[in-house]
């Protein structure tokens, strides 16, 4: 029993390493996708200006934000190159035509000056405008209109849909399940993309039906055992129920036979491998378990010989515009400040404070045992909420899988948990590199201010 227990812990380690090294879309590719997204948003804005000047109109892009797998940090490395990023583009309701087809045609017209850069002219699809490039990636522009706080999505008709709701739902549920929802979603999506000829349902449906299967009875299992448990539950779930509801508005997502067949395809492909996996775990045979996971993921990663780390690193960076709408038109003071907390002991029962400058260089050797306290200097009156993003960069952060970038609340000195009531963020001095801390002020459900403090740490 002891040997099996030790081996199973090694199996859990293997699948966690596989997740980190093979499954997660690399931060380099994510960064490249985001750069291309920003470039195409700029092209859209320029195209709108050209159209307005030519036709005497006053169209204006009100807002844009990431959606889908990049926003939810569930993007995976496919067996074949096929990268995409979903972007919501938002217009004021009184600033665009009322007919959905007319709006889609208008977006295509805005982009037409840049058609020579694309693999083909932008494609008008049911729920988006797709831009395809020669180097195997595409951008989907989902169109929204907004009036006050009421958002509608442009499909065959206008339907109520807040572009941030799904992303926020997933982030909150993933926290509830200690990041297992994101891990299992990525692993199943990787499986779904492991054979190019498969025609399987998309990431949103996969995320929803996986979330249904994780509960208090299984969320604390080791990752490999949780994965097998979810596979078996997905097969049973799809076999008995082929309806999938949007978790925000509870509207049906499986809207036609094509969508239903893609869901059935997922069940059928899982069924091809579940018996081998189940038998290997029932027999407590570690070699057969490795063989079964190799077949499942179409890989040789789980061979007995240990794999060398490829230094892949999870990029979970979040962006405030994907969580709250931005209101940047209110002039007021908002500056992120930083102080070094210096103490003679680790308890920081007594300490002195030294003000720091933006871009000031810190020494990992000299300052390691100090704390950095970030706060704001503002003339905005409460109530408001402060949110923080700590973003590490550099080889050390990558090697330790600590790029970070999640948006969280503040904390207290020596506290390891976030505190919604804290106006400060304490961080250690742990990695060399050019890092930064951003702070966001949220008031009336809008981000009304943001600021950044750059932290440069050297040896």
CA nearest 455: which of 441, 438, 444?
Answer: 438
Count of domains forming the chain: 3
Task: Answer whether residue 305 is part of any domain.
Answer: no
Same domain, 189 and 101: no
Q: Is residue 306 part of a domain?
A: no
Domain span at 360:
324-458
Q: What is the pLDDT of residues 155-203, one digit of tens each?
A: 999 999 999 999 999 999 998 998 999 999 999 999 999 988 999 999 9
Query: Of 163, 186, 206, which closes a domain?
Result: 163
Structure tokens at 434: 């050019």
Tell me: do 19 and 93 sit in the same domain: no
- Cβ neighbors of 122 (< 8 A, separation 6 or more) are 107, 108, 111, 115, 129, 130, 131
Give the Cα separation of 287 and 290 in Å (integer).
5
303 found inside a domain: no
Q: Tokens standing for 33?
A: 């996708």
Provide mean pLDDT across the span 406-434: 88
For residue 166, give the nearest of 37, 269, 68, 289 by alpha carbon.
68
Place of tokens 């809008």: 446
Question: Do 128 and 189 belong to one domain?
Answer: no
Q: How confident is the model at residue 79 (pLDDT cuts 50, 70, 90)?
A: low
CA 151 to chain centre: 22
Tell me whether strands 325-326 and 446-458 are parallel, antiparallel or unpaired.
parallel
Q: Are residues 135 and 68 in the same domain?
A: yes
Q: How far is CA 94 from CA 58, 143, 148, in A?
A: 11, 14, 11
105 & 177 share domain: no
Q: What is the pLDDT of residue 166?
A: 94
- Are residues 292 and 171 part of one domain? yes
| Predicted pLDDT of residue 106 | 96
Q: Which helix (H) or strand (E) holds 252?
A: none
Dihedral sign of CA atoms 356, 360, 363, 366 in order: negative
291 in the same domain as 367? no
CA–CA separation, 327 vs 444, rounded Å?
Answer: 10
Q: How far apart are CA 125 and CA 130, in angstroms?
A: 7
Residue 171 lies in a domain: yes
Q: Which two tokens stand for residue 450?
A: 């943001």
CATH code, 154: 3.30.460.90
- Secondary structure (3-state) at 202: coil
pTM: 0.81
End position of a domain, from candidates 297, 314, 349? 297
| Radius of gyration of the chain, Cα coordinates, nearest whole angstrom | 24
CATH number reported for the structural domain that contains residue 220 in this entry: 1.10.1410
Query: Would 1 be classed as within a structural domain?
Result: no
Same domain assignment for residues 342 and 244: no
Q: Among 31-45, 55-69, 295-309, 350-364, whose mean pLDDT is lowest?
A: 295-309
List pLDDT tens digits, range 325-379.
888 666 788 999 999 999 888 778 888 999 999 988 998 888 888 899 999 999 9
Report the candidate in 187, 192, 174 with the shortest Cα–Cα distance to residue 229.
187
Listed range (96-100, 126-130, 349-353) with the worst mean pLDDT:
349-353
- Same domain as 229, residue 172: yes
Q: Are residues 397 and 437 in the same domain?
A: yes
Q: Encoding tokens for residue 137? A: 């990636």
Closest CA to 433 of 404, 407, 412: 404
**Alpha carbon distance 317, 24 (integer Å):** 13
pLDDT, residue 84, reads: 80
31 and 157 in a single domain? The answer is yes
Q: Which of 140, 162, 174 is nearest to 324 (CA)?
A: 162
Q: Which of 163, 196, 216 is the last residue of a domain?
A: 163
Q: Over 50: is that where the pLDDT of 14 sits?
A: yes
Pairwise CA distance, residues 449 & 327, whole Å: 8
Q: Average pLDDT in the 135-147 region?
A: 89
- The confidence score (pLDDT) of residue 97 equals 95
Whether the Cβ atoms of residue 416 and residue 426 lie closer than 8 Å to each other: no
Domain co-membership, 159 together with 31: yes
CA distances from 39 to 43, 82, 114, 407 (A): 6, 19, 11, 24
CATH number of the domain where residue 414 is located: 2.60.40.10
Q: Is residue 373 part of a domain?
A: yes
| Peptide bond just before 383 cis, omega within 30 deg | yes
Phi/psi for 342 (5° steps) reads: -115, 125
Residue 448 lies in a domain: yes
* pLDDT the model gives residue 299: 92
Q: Is residue 193 part of a domain?
A: yes
pLDDT band at 308 (very low <50, low <70, confident <90, very high): very low
Report pLDDT digits (tens) over 267-292: 999 999 999 999 999 988 888 999 99
Question: Residues of the chain with pLDDT > 90: what percent?
Answer: 61
- Among residues 402, 455, 400, the alpha carbon closest in space to that of 433 is found at 455
């Amino acid at each position: 029993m002891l040997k099996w227990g030790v081996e199973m812990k090694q199996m859990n380690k293997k699948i966690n390493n596989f997740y980190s090294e093979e499954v997660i879309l690399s931060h380099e590719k994510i960064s490249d996708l985001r750069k291309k997204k920003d470039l195409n948003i700029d092209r859209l804005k320029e195209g709108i200006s050209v159209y307005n000047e030519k036709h005497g109109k006053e169209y204006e892009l009100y807002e844009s934000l990431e959606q889908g797998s990049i926003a939810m940090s569930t993007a995976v490395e496919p067996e074949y190159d096929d990268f995409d990023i979903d972007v919501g583009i938002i217009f004021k309701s009184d600033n665009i035509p009322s007919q959905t087809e007319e709006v889609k045609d208008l977006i295509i017209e805005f982009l037409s000056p840049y058609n020579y850069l694309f693999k083909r002219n932008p494609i008008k699809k049911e729920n988006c405008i797709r831009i395809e490039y020669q180097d195997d990636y595409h951008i989907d522009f989902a169109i929204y209109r907004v009036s006050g706080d009421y958002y509608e999505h442009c499909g065959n008709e206008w339907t109520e849909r807040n572009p941030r709701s799904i992303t926020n739902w997933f982030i909150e549920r993933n926290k509830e399940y200690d990041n297992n929802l994101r891990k299992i979603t990525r692993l199943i999506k990787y499986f779904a993309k492991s054979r190019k000829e498969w025609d399987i349902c998309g990431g949103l449906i996969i995320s929803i039906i996986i979330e249904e299967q994780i509960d208090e009875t299984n969320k604390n299992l080791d990752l490999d055992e949780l994965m097998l448990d979810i596979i078996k539950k997905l097969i049973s779930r799809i076999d008995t129920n082929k309806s999938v509801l949007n978790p925000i508005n509870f509207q049906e997502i499986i809207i036609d036979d094509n969508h239903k067949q893609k869901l059935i395809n997922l069940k059928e492909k899982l069924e091809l491998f579940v018996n081998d996996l189940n038998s290997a775990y029932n027999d407590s045979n570690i070699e057969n378990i490795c063989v079964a996971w190799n077949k499942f993921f179409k890989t040789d990663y789980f061979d007995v010989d240990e794999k060398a780390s490829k230094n892949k690193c999870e990029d979970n960076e979040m962006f405030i515009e994907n969580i709250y709408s931005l209101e940047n038109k209110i002039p007021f003071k908002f500056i992120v400040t930083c102080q070094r907390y210096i103490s003679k002991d680790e308890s920081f029962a007594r300490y002195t404070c030294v003000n720091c400058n933006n871009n000031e260089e810190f020494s990992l050797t000299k300052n390691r045992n100090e704390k950095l306290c970030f706060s704001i200097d503002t003339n905005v009156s409460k109530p408001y909420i402060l949110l923080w993003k700590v973003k590490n960069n550099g080889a050390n952060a990558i090697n330790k899988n600590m790029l970070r970038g999640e948006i969280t609340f503040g904390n207290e000195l020596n506290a390891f948990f976030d505190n919604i009531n804290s106006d400060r963020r304490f961080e250690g001095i742990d990695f060399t590199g050019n890092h930064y801390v951003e702070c966001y002020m949220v008031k009336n459900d809008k981000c009304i201010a943001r600021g950044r403090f750059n932290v440069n740490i050297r040896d």
